Structure 1
Amino acid sequence: MNAIELGPFVFATERFAFLLAAVTFFGSFHLLTLWHIAGVREDVRAWAFPAAMIWLLGARTGYVMQQWDVFSQHPLDIPKVWQGGVSVWTGFAGLAAFAILAYARRRAAVAPLLAAAFAGGLVNLGLLSLKETDETAALPTTAFPTMAGDFTQLNERDGAPLILNLWASWCPPCRREMPMMMDVANTIQGADLVFANQGETPAQVTDFLDTLGLGDRHLLLDPTSSLMARFDAVGLPTTLFFDASGTLQNVHFGEISRTELLSQIATIDTAASNLGDGDIPDSDQTGDPQ
């Protein structure tokens, strides 16, 4: 399960787990302070929001430090928390420091803070444990048209990993991530990054590319959105990561950050480099399942 649908809304599992953990934290903290008398209760509850912000700041700072080789080249990406990317343990380290301050200033806030954080952490881990990748979904043998009028088959890998981005021009997150992903597609080595437009005409795609000043070198057209159906993509954008054998290794739903994209590419590229030539199946063995 890589995404969760709630009516008309679709959330990536990681983002939904984060949001539900936050709701659990504030809800638990509220319940755990009900036994305080009125004046003390309001004072204790005032510590909840700063604690959450300290956790988020610590978690984001830890993640940025871990991925500094990427963020140092693109510092404007650091505040883009909505793209994902936190280090849970550095977040809890920041929260522990905040709890020490709370112990010195308002001791009554410490126990509900830590208990609520524990509850939120359990909810987050529980939802993330539900995420799984369907590795049985193989690349199709269908030939897809390119913007140049040619046709290409995604299952013909030639020993190179594939990153397949499903997108459409009407999708705001697709529009935001496309320039960055195109930049990566033009510079990476050892892997192919392909953008499969879902359900639009060549004229619509051309208008979009012209608006952003992007080329069409890495694009193909999927006018019937068959790839969304094949890989159970509940929304756009969806980015799928295949190893050199054409096996699906990971799925990222929603807008992806440069850091996460490069990290996933490095993971499958390293796996590919560790395989011998005899370990990579022929492309005609990765076709449609019967």
Structure 2
Amino acid sequence: MNAVSLGPLVLAADRFAVVLAIFVFLIVTGIMARKVDDRFNAWSWWAFLGGIIGARIGHVLINMESFMADPLRIFAVWQGGFYWPTGAAAVIVSLLVMLPTGRQRLWAVLPLALSLIVWNTTWQLTGGTDPLAVPDQAFETLEGNGYRLEEHKGTPQVVNLWATWCPPCRREMPMMADIAASTDDVTFVFANQGEGRTAIQRYLAASGLSLDTILVDQFSDLSRFYSAPGLPATLFIDADGVLQHAHLGEISREVLIGKIENLRTSISPSGDTRP
């Protein structure tokens, strides 16, 4: 799965690439502040914060209708959701305002270029998704019936790996249940990892959630098969039963809808999967 493990800490590959790029940017500008001009120190923090805030504001504005239903979600940056063109614009504004001379601006290109190179290289090395076919294995549903992911080829599938003890799983579950209930052309499967029926039923009763397909994967076979290093993990599987994308960590409504749309566009009007 496209994730990086650092001891007990697990980061999705895209987030790890961004964190590493930011770290390089701050280190290089810190050195430049000591060796070239101390104004690079203040500029680096304004560029960092301005870029993050600008990118988040851009994402919120693009998806304003979604955020209007739950405005506090604007601050849920751990879910992801950044529009980097507006972030880049904020960085450029900070450069023009805080570094007035051409020499300073020329030096500023160095940390910006290095951080972009680090981000791109890290993402290329860690961000790929192995196109795994669904396992040929029977799982048991909460009702006690047999269920095979392979038997549901022909329809895209979203498989959510979760557990009742997992806080981000619980946070995203109501949103995912809502989208699952309003989506007819994609099959949603909620595969509980490592727990028994009693724990699952207790959670569903307390939360008031209704989910159509819940798998009781007591031995976390799906987590091992897809090499998921943590929970939650959301798997986007095309109509051929092949994994197209794996999202590690809490997922936002916008990302979930976008990935579902990608699954839809992989199917031709005749029902065949596009090459």
Using the size of structure 1 for normalisation, the TM-score is: 0.86
Q: Deviations over 1:60-82 (max 9, x none)?
A: 22223333453344433322211
**CA displacement at 1:224 relative to structure 2:** 1.2
- How much does 1:44 deviate? 3.9
Matches within 5 A, 1:21-60: 21-36=21-36, 41=38, 43-60=39-56
- 1:118 aligned residue: 113
| Mapped pair 1:231 → 2:198 | no
Q: 1:148 aligns with which of 143, 147, 151?
A: 143
Q: Quick one: distance in 2 between partners of 1:208 and 1:112?
A: 56
- The gaps in structure 2 that reach 5 residues or longer are none
Q: Flag the 1:158–1:4 CA change in 2: closer, same or farther, 3 A.
A: closer
Q: Which among 182, 191, 211 is matched to residue 186 of structure 2?
A: 191
* Paired position in structure 2 for 1:284: none
Q: Superposition pairs for residues 241-280 of structure 1, below 5 Å?
A: 241-272=236-267, 274=268, 276-277=270-271, 279=272
Q: Please report how far the alpha carbon of residue 218 of structure 1 lies from its aligned counterpart in structure 2 after TM superposition.
A: 2.7
> For each residue in 1:192-251, what CA deviation from the matched residue of structure 2 results, as whole angstroms up to 9, or x when unmatched?
111100110111111222232212423111111111111111111111111111111111
Partner residue in 1 for 2:207: 212
2:97 maps to 1:101: yes
The runs of 4+ residues in structure 1 deviating greater than 6 Å are none
Unaligned runs of at least 5 residues, structure 1: 281-290
Letter in 2 for 1:276: S
1:159 pairs with one of 154, 157, 167: 154
Deviation of 1:32 (Å)? 1.4
- Offset of residue 149 of structure 1: 2.1
Q: How far apart, in 1, do the equivalents of 2:8 and 2:153 lie? A: 40
- Between stretches 109-118 and 163-172, larger displacement belongs to 109-118
CA contact (8 A) 2:79 2:252 kept: yes
Seen in structure 2, the aligned counterparts of structure 1 residues 245 and 172 have a Cα distance that, compared at 3 Å, is same
Distance 1:19 1:50, change over 3 A: same
1:142-189 deviations in Å (ceiling 9; x for gaps): 222111222221112252100001111122221221111111111112
- Residue 14 of structure 2: aligned partner: 14
Q: Partners in 1 of 2:107 and 2:175 — Cα distance?
A: 42
Cα drift, residue 108 of structure 1: 7.1
Q: Give the letter for the 1:200 counterpart.
A: E
Alpha-carbon distance between aligned partners in 1 of 2:111 and 2:81, rounded to the nearest angstrom = 22
In the superposition, relative to structure 1, how do residues 255 and 172 fare at CA in structure 2: closer, same or farther (>3 Å)?
A: same
Q: Given residue 209 of structure 2, which amino acid in structure 1 is its aligned partner?
A: L
Which of 57, 63, 66 lines up with 2:59 in the alignment? 63
Write the distance in 1 (CA, Å) between the matches of 2:40 and 2:83.
27
* Counterpart contact for 2:158–2:189, Cα < 8 Å: yes
The amino acid of 1:24's aligned partner reads: V
Aligned residue number for residue 132 of structure 1: 128
Report the CA distance between 1:122 and its aligned residue.
Answer: 1.6
Letter in 2 for 1:22: I
Give the match's secondary structure for 2:150: coil
Paired residue total: 272
Shift, 1:107, TM fit: 7.2
Q: Kindly state the Cα deviation for residue 138 of structure 1 after the two structures are TM-superposed.
A: 1.6
What's the C-alpha RMSD, in Å, of the aligned pairs? Answer: 2.1
TM-score normalized by structure 2?
A: 0.90
- In 2, are the aligned partners of 1:47 and 1:109 still within 8 Å (CA)? no
The alignment partner of 1:118 has SS state of: helix
Supply the distance in 1 between the matched residues of 2:206 and 2:105 (Cα, whole angstroms): 53
Distance 1:138 1:123 in 2: 31
Q: In structure 2, give the amino acid aligned to 1:191.
A: V
Partner-residue secondary structure (3-state), 1:276:
coil
| Alpha-carbon distance in 1 for matches of 2:205, 2:110 | 53
- What is the DSSP-based 3-state SS (H/G/I as helix, E as strand, rest coil) of the residue aligned with 1:97? helix
| CA distance 1:246–1:204, shift in 2 (3 Å) | same
1:89 counterpart = 2:89? no
